Structure 1
Amino acid sequence: METKRYFIELSYNGTDFHGWQTQPNSITVQECLDKALSTFFRQEIVSLGCGRTDTGVHATQFYAHFDLVDVNPKQVENSVKGINALLPYSIALHRIFEVANEAHARFDATAREYKYYLHFHKNPFKLDRSWLYKGQLDIGKMNQAAQVLLQHKDFSCFSKSNTQTFTNNCKISYAKVEQQPDGLIFTIKADRFLRNMVRAIMGTLVMVGRGDIEIAAVEEIIASKNRSKAGQSVPACGLYLVAIEYPYIKID
């Protein structure tokens, strides 16, 4: 009985899902994926994802790992099309590849990148894919405030409470707000993220952008380590997990 570990790369529109992780009485991405994998390979499979996305959050790149027992490698090589046929249209499998048996989709990731999309005018084609913000924002000040994040490590003020994490320290390597024809994109990259962290950061940047607080106040919010001091979490529909890096996966 030989067991081999595989990584799976996928993307999904999170609108119809209660996040990634399987939970009772809710449809999740992991549940749909495990069901498709188990059906195709005819053995019970439980995948483990590179992280957890919340209800309504999207992913253009997501990795998970799973184990197969006594499966012909040829079957795995030709499995993408068959598994996609078993998945809902909102989940797309891109590739499956063998990795070392000790490889881990969550713990081996060295960096993750998110993007948050916001638009200013009603657009039916952005429904559930971007946040419609009805107001004006000073994007220059928001971008200055985003740079403050690079100078800190403890982001307790942006974390959901009672998450049972061993540390709230994260190393943010990139944070930028960019103007778009009808909105903006906030991009942030770090070695790890806390629960709800990106949406709370974006909510705080919006406070800066509309003039509720000054850029200097972001320093005070971070120093407070108090979630209630930071901005409200922005809607999930604008958030996308766009990249995950591993030391053994080549970036094209």
Structure 2
Amino acid sequence: METKRYFVELSYNGTDFHGWQTQPNGATVQACLDKALSTYFRQEIVSLGCGRTDAGVHATQFYAHFDLVGSNAKQVQNSVKGINALLPYSIAVYRVFEVAIDAHARFDATAREYKYFLHFHKDPFKLDRSWLYKGELDLEKMNQAAQVLLKHTDFSCFSKSNTQTFTNNCKISYAKLEMQAGSLVFTIKADRFLRNMVRAIMGTLVMVGKGDIEVAAVEEIIASKSRSQAGQSVPACGLYLVAIEYPYIKCDD
């Protein structure tokens, strides 16, 4: 029987999950999705995601691929409603579509974009969705520091240790902080990201904003390639994976 590959586009609130990837202990997004897919399509399915998100991190756009043996076209066409009915409310599937048999959700992605949300005043509706920061920050200096990132490619200083990656090189194409409706939003886009990278970068930018270090120190931190020189990782609740780009998926698809 013929095997076909499919992409599934989804989003999730990561508050109650121990990240994307299936683990022996703790609920994960992948485990919930695989269970729903396997139940709906009545065959064992193991998906592969476009990346890993840590515990508490959210995604407004996430792709995963999976294979089906002897798939029924009508069943796939009507799958979104059925899969969503099998998922918790914190995970939503938007579409399922066939791709080339060698398409890969992780390795084929050409760009990823994250946003980090920080707010300054207590707001119960931002609980677990944004980081409450009690203090003042110099937005102008933080943006100056963010532009330093665009000049570099080796971001070992912002990576979790022992991640088993072949390289710590990434090409950051965009990095900017701006105020939006009372929140400070950091947007960053790159071809790839290291484990914990965005939260470590944001922690370092906060150090600049507080006046703990000068903008020039960011150059020194990157050159050191030492995680201990960079700022602490900010809380996971404010981090969102918001966009993934592929050469064969148009933005308006």
Q: TM-score range by the shorter chain?
A: over 0.9
SS at the partner of 2:208? helix
CA distance in 2, matches of 1:96, 1:50: 15
Alignment gaps of 5+ in structure 1: none
The offset of 1:180, in angstroms, is: 2.5
> Where in structure 2 are the equivalents of 1:89-238 lying within 5 Å?
89-238=89-238
Amino acid of the structure 1 residue aligned with 2:76: V
CA distance in 1, matches of 2:100, 2:239: 31
The offset of 1:234, in angstroms, is: 0.0
The offset of 1:182, in angstroms, is: 1.9
Residues 184-206 of structure 1 show CA distances to partners (whole Å, capped at 9, x for unaligned) of 00000000000000000000000
> Where in structure 2 are the equivalents of 1:19-34 lying within 5 Å?
19-34=19-34
What percent of counterpart residues are identical? 87
CA distance in 2, matches of 1:79, 1:64: 15
CA distance in 2, matches of 1:180, 1:7: 33
2:58 matched to 1:58? yes
Residues 70-90 of structure 1 show CA distances to partners (whole Å, capped at 9, x for unaligned) of 011111000100100000000
Residue number in structure 1 paired with 2:72: 72
CA distance in 1, matches of 2:25, 2:212: 40
Task: Name which of structure 1's ranges 180-189 and 129-138 shifts more when overlaid on structure 2.
Answer: 180-189
The offset of 1:214, in angstroms, is: 0.1
- Counting matched residue pairs gives 252
CA distance in 2, matches of 1:188, 1:54: 17
Residue number in structure 2 paired with 1:35: 35
CA distance in 2, matches of 1:243, 1:174: 13
Residue number in structure 2 paired with 1:82: 82
Amino acid of the structure 2 residue aligned with 1:98: E
Amino acid of the structure 2 residue aligned with 1:147: Q
Amino acid of the structure 2 residue aligned with 1:220: E
CA distance in 2, matches of 1:135, 1:205: 14
Residues 215-234 of structure 1 show CA distances to partners (whole Å, capped at 9, x for unaligned) of 00000000000000000000
**Runs of 4+ deviating beyond 4 Å:** none
TM-score by length of 1: 0.99
TM-score by length of 2: 0.99
CA distance in 2, matches of 1:25, 1:241: 24
The offset of 1:181, in angstroms, is: 3.5
Residues 106-158 of structure 1 show CA distances to partners (whole Å, capped at 9, x for unaligned) of 00000000000000000000000000000000011101100000000000000
Residue number in structure 2 paired with 1:46: 46
CA distance in 2, matches of 1:212, 1:181: 26
SS at the partner of 2:249? coil
Amino acid of the structure 2 residue aligned with 1:77: Q
Amino acid of the structure 2 residue aligned with 1:199: R
SS at the partner of 1:82? helix
The offset of 1:25, in angstroms, is: 1.3
CA RMSD of aligned residues (A): 0.5
Residue number in structure 2 paired with 1:249: 249
Amino acid of the structure 1 residue aligned with 2:74: K
CA distance in 2, matches of 1:25, 1:155: 31
SS at the partner of 2:88? coil
